[in-house]
Chains A and B, each alone.
Chain A
Amino acid sequence: MIAWSEFVFFASAATVLWFAGAVAAWKDRRGLALGLTLAGLCVYIAFIIGLWAGLQRPPMRTLGETRLWYSLFMAVSGVVVYARWRYRWIMLFSAVLATVFVCLNVFMPQIHDQTLAPALQSGWFVPHVTVYMFSYSVVGCAVIMAVASLIQGTDKYLGSMDSLIYIGTAFLTLGMLSGALWAKAAWGMYWSWDPKETWAAVTWCVCLAYIHLRLNRQSSWKAACILVLLAFLGLQMCWYGVNWLPSATESMHVYGQ
């Protein structure tokens, strides 16, 4: 069985392969870039499967466990964006972002105990968390493009940003509504304005603002980039920032900080 103590070995191998893939992408060696990144993903997924078996529950409860999924989906999003739009630099940025969260798990280990609260033992648990983590990583990729646009002073990434925000918003919607259906089964109401739910609504609405702003051809591309940055800030608050707010003590979403 695989345990957290072995994470550093799997993570090191995966990040080396992701960076090797990013370098190959930079040198325009597409096949090699995709192959190396996919190999890194296989190593990382092997750890997650082993950990899942070792914990005897889905590794999605603690903040550290959600970081695990975020790193995975960040690398997946990077490789998909590269395969689709062939931006040579995207894999490097997605690898850096994924590695930041890998490092957080290596250097800031948390108590990864095996217990799972009864409320989390639901069929909604796995789809809700994975869909959310995937949407966070897709919006993360859009942020990389928004920053690149603002630094380079160009709107040439807007088309890709549109696609990423549409995908991210679709998955945010699926995550938020699967959470609402689960909340109805667990607590009696679809929506309770719990701090986590409120910040999820903020993030979702910022993405909707982006979509509606971009329906207008004459809209400012800088305003669109800033909205993407705000959406990213909102989802950081929703993911873990909310835990630092005074209202977090009354949150129903506190399971395993």
Chain B
Amino acid sequence: MRGYIFWAVYIAVAVVCQIIFGDFPSGFFGFPVNAAVMLLWLAVLWVMFREKRDSAPVRMLLSRQTTLVLIGVFIAACLVQGFSRSRLTGSWWFVAVLFALLSHIFLVLLRGMSHPRPYRLRFFLNHAGLFLALAGGMFGSPDNRDWRTVAVTEAPAREAVDIEGHRTALEHSFRLVDLKVESYENGAPRNYEATVMIDEEKEAVLKVNHPCRLSWKDDLYLSGIKEGGCILQVVRHPWKYMEFIGIIMLLAGAVLVFLQGPAGQAGQAGTTEERRAGK
């Protein structure tokens, strides 16, 4: 019961913060603050696990009840987002739910890997993969940028507009060299391909679903065509490597879930009749 009360109060505090302060100030957590906060938080969890593993708060954080409560709360948060037209993922309560879920996954991961257990590799891949994908998405989001610009043949584009409509100077310039558009008989676009000169030095061929790498953190996308030019999207996503590793681990974990089937007591539990019969 204390667990339910704790999580109810936790979410209520986040809702009160949302009412008082508005959305979570993610801008404050740009690099290096986000990286420092993440490392500090992981260190605190690790010390808590090592030194206070048997304390009531850590046992509560590690309990199966907490797993189910946090999955339930996360589903509720997703349902609110699913029915809403607004983007709510930047709100205090959504960040609080994600933070609690990540803390729980990390502690469960520490416990699971600290002693031998069945399906150890699958457990590690699924939990560590989910942790990396979610943590990369949450802590990395203040560093993400999405700019759009229109490249034309006449002059290189050096400015772009972000998703909030602010104009900004780009680190690169883009000039359209050639644009090929294939259409169906009814006029609908079948495919398009743009050749773009980057910084008046390097030519790149861009297609839908085939971005071009500008640097370790920036990629260039062809996101549409416009009369006389093409719409280019510059995406800055420096934490993508952490998310990618998490996704690959989760994919491998899913393959093992399929191959190995039900885990732990679920697969062996059987029916009530079987258990009564001692099978």
Contact = CB atoms under 8 A, between A and B. Distances in A.
B259 to A, nearest CB: 8
Contacts of A114: 184
Interface string A206-219: 10110111111100
A119 interface: yes
Contacts of B221: 186-188
Contact of A186 (B85, B188, B191, B209): B209
Contacts of A257: none
Contacts of B75: 202, 205-206, 209
A190 B240 contact: yes
Contacts of B266: 162, 211, 214-215
Given A209-B75, A215-B264, A217-B269, A171 B258 contact: yes
A202 to B, nearest CB: 5
B78 A162 contact: no
A191 interface: yes
A204 to B, nearest CB: 10
B251 interface: yes
Interface stretch (A20-28, A87-95, A173-181): A173-181
A237 B82 CA distance: 10
B210 interface: yes
B251 A177 contact: yes
A198 B264 CA distance: 29
Contact of B267 (A162, A190, A246): A162
A217 to B, nearest CB: 5
B262 A163 contact: yes
B154 interface: no
Interface in A132-182: 154-156, 158-159, 162-163, 166-167, 169-171, 173-174, 177, 180-182
Interface of A: 113-119, 121-122, 154-156, 158-159, 162-163, 166-167, 169-171, 173-174, 177, 180-182, 184-191, 193, 195, 198-199, 201-202, 205-206, 208-209, 211-217, 221, 237, 242, 245-247, 250
